[in-house]
């Protein structure tokens, strides 16, 4: 991505080159260079989706839920990039801003019929029109000036979109009701949320107001954020006898991004309760227990499946491990976060034409190793810190879990994550076994009832920390780029609807550094007696 800032007729202009797109922005139009990874990944997902969706439409009049993407072949006469395809997919970018994303979609994805680049700002739409003309893709991209919600509501009947991209500033929930109605059966919904403080537990009452779920301050808050967003999309879809199937769900930088297919089927909507759970979280030792909203019986025979309510509660009021207070959050999505078949197709289609292809490749590899069917995760430093023990090597802990007969993986959301299907009592037993060879100072346990209660329980099993052959995953073994550092100084989600490009963005960021300390100092000077 290259960027040059200049002035034309007294107006701040910026020339931006990203991927195959070359655009100019002027006025109060928002552009964030950090989101290049977001756009690159979206291009890859849409490219693979378009191939399979076109084939699905050719094979059947009614789109059915795809169980495996291994059985679908790409169409032999796929049109070249930058060419409008009569049988291609239609895309709506509901909040287009500069039009950069839509232009890149048009120039870098095969099998597109048309793209509607919509924005509420007339100035933004003028930018989009100019950029579409300069990039010579007027045959594909249609600029549109309208309220995104009302525009999607207008497409509830008749001509719906095969893919809808929602990348708002902050919370996307206000757009979901119209989006799940305006998307075609089996279509792809791409949703970004940047209000991570709300989703990560800093304001649970606000999270409930926006997403219909209580967030918790927990170490695995990024995964919980994704699962809350998926639950919110599912709830909106269920109101119209529709349901979602996640293809890919990621947490990156300062946002989360999910790619889900939306299908119709009143019968399938009945399965939603079995895909959702509340979570009990101990404020003392950070352990968690999930309580599903519904359970299925006779799953082997689809026609005779019974939808039942689970016995409650799933845990006692006080934590069984440390006696700490339990908080309840949710509901959240507790079904798998990804379609591994689809992720593998993404890996096969990934090329170095995308600027962030190394990071995409690393994250996709990590996701294929991830236990996406196991909700939430522990972190190594929290487990060790809770009982004040010397932090064990990650490979040793992973080996102990594997040697005990359970599964374990990293997650792309945290460097020190331990995602496992081992129950919490097994995890703490493994930590107690580590303490036997690495004793904890008794002085550190005197005033800490949490550590004391956990270590007071004696383990009945001896766990082996000998290296397991599967303890070191390929993503780490081959040094793939999994967790990228901050891509540039003064980066972040930016500011809503303002000039935040180039030098303007950097100067404002520097101006605001230490602002609260300066204001406090000035207040003290004002209040000093004469």
- pLDDT tens digits, 313-354: 888 889 999 999 999 999 999 999 999 999 999 999 999 999
Q: What does the pLDDT read at residue 227? A: 98
Closest-CA residue to 220 (of 356, 339, 334, 310): 334
Q: What does the pLDDT read at residue 380? A: 96
Closest-CA residue to 250 (of 363, 410, 350): 363
Strand pairing category for 255-264 and 242-252: antiparallel
- Residue 106 Cα distances to 32, 295, 376, 384, angstroms: 20, 44, 37, 50
Distance separating alpha carbons of residues 194 and 55, to the nearest angstrom:
34
Strands (E), 253-357: 255-264, 276-282, 288-292, 295-297, 306-308, 326-333
CATH code 3.30.56.70 region(s) in the chain: 377-477
May I ask the CATH class of domain 32-78+147-361? alpha beta
Kindly state the DSSP code that residue 20 receives in the 8-state scheme.
T
Q: What does the pLDDT read at residue 62? A: 74
Strands (E), 120-273: 141-145, 161-166, 183-193, 242-252, 255-264
Q: What does the pLDDT read at residue 528? A: 55
pLDDT band at 494 (very low <50, low <70, confident <90, very high): low
Distance separating alpha carbons of residues 174 and 391, to the nearest angstrom:
44
pLDDT band at 3 (very low <50, low <70, confident <90, very high): low
Q: What does the pLDDT read at residue 2? A: 58
Considering the entire predicted model, what is its pTM? 0.88
pLDDT at 9 > cutoff 90: no
Average confidence score pLDDT of the chain: 87
Q: What does the pLDDT read at residue 484? A: 60
Any idea which fold 377-477 has? Phenylalanyl-tRNA Synthetase; Chain B, domain 1 (3.30.56)
Distance separating alpha carbons of residues 127 and 141, to the nearest angstrom:
13
pLDDT at 188 > cutoff 90: yes
CATH code 3.40.50.150 region(s) in the chain: 32-78+147-361
Is residue 497 left, alpha or beta, with left meaning phi > 0 and alpha meaning psi from -120 to 50? left
């Amino acid at each position: 991505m290259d960027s040059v800032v200049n002035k034309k007729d007294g107006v701040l202009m910026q020339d931006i080159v990203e991927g195959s797109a070359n655009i100019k922005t002027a006025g109060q139009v928002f552009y964030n260079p950090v989101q290049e990874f977001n756009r690159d990944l979206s291009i890859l997902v849409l490219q693979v989706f378009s191939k399979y969706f076109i084939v699905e439409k050719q094979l059947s009049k009614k789109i059915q839920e795809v169980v495996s993407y291994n059985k679908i072949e790409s169409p032999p006469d796929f049109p070249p990039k930058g060419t409008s395809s009569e049988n291609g997919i239609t895309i709506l970018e509901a909040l287009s801003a500069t039009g950069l994303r839509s232009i890149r979609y048009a120039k870098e994805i095969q099998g597109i019929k048309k793209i509607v680049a919509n924005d509420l700002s007339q100035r933004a739409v003028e930018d989009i029109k100019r950029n579409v003309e300069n990039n010579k893709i007027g045959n594909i991209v249609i600029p549109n000036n309208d309220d995104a919600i009302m525009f999607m509501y207008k497409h509830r009947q008749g001509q719906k979109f095969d893919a809808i991209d929602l990348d708002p500033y902050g919370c996307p929930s206000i757009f979901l009701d119209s989006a799940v109605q305006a998307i075609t059966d089996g279509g792809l919904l791409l949703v970004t949320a940047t209000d991570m403080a709300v989703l990560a537990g800093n304001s649970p009452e606000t999270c409930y107001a926006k997403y219909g779920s209580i967030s918790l301050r927990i170490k695995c808050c990024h995964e919980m954020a994704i699962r809350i967003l998926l639950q919110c999309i599912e709830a909106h879809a269920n109101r119209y006898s529709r349901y979602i199937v996640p293809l890919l769900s990621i947490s990156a930088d300062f946002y989360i991004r999910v790619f889900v297919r939306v299908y119709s089927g009143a019968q399938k909507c009945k399965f939603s309760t079995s895909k959702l759970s509340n979570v009990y979280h101990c404020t003392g030792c950070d352990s968690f227990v999930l309580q599903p909203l519904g359970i299925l019986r006779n799953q082997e025979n689809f026609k005779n499946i019974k939808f039942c309510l689970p016995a409650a509660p799933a845990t006692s009021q006080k934590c069984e491990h440390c006696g700490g207070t339990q908080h309840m959050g949710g509901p959240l999505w507790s079904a798998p976060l990804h379609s591994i078949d689809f992720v593998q197709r993404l890996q096969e289609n990934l090329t170095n034409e995308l600027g962030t292809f190394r990071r995409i490749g690393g994250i996709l590899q990590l996701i294929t190793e991830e236990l996406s069917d196991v909700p939430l995760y522990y972190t190594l430093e929290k487990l060790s810190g809770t009982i004040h023990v010397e932090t064990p090597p990650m490979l040793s802990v992973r080996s102990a879990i594997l040697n005990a007969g359970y599964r374990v993986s990293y997650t792309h959301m945290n460097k020190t994550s331990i995602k496992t299907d081992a129950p919490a009592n097994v995890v703490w037993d493994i930590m107690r076994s580590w303490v036997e060879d690495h004793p904890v100072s008794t002085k550190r346990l005197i005033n800490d009832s949490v550590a004391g209660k956990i270590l007071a329980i004696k383990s009945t099993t001896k766990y082996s920390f000998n290296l397991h052959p599967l303890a070191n995953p390929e993503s780490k073994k081959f040094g793939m780029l999994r967790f990228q550092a901050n891509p540039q100084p003064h980066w972040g989600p930016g500011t809503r609807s303002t000039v935040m490009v180039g030098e303007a963005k950097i100067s404002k960021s520097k101006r605001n550094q230490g602002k609260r300390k300066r204001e406090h100092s000035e207040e003290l000077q004002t209040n000093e007696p004469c």
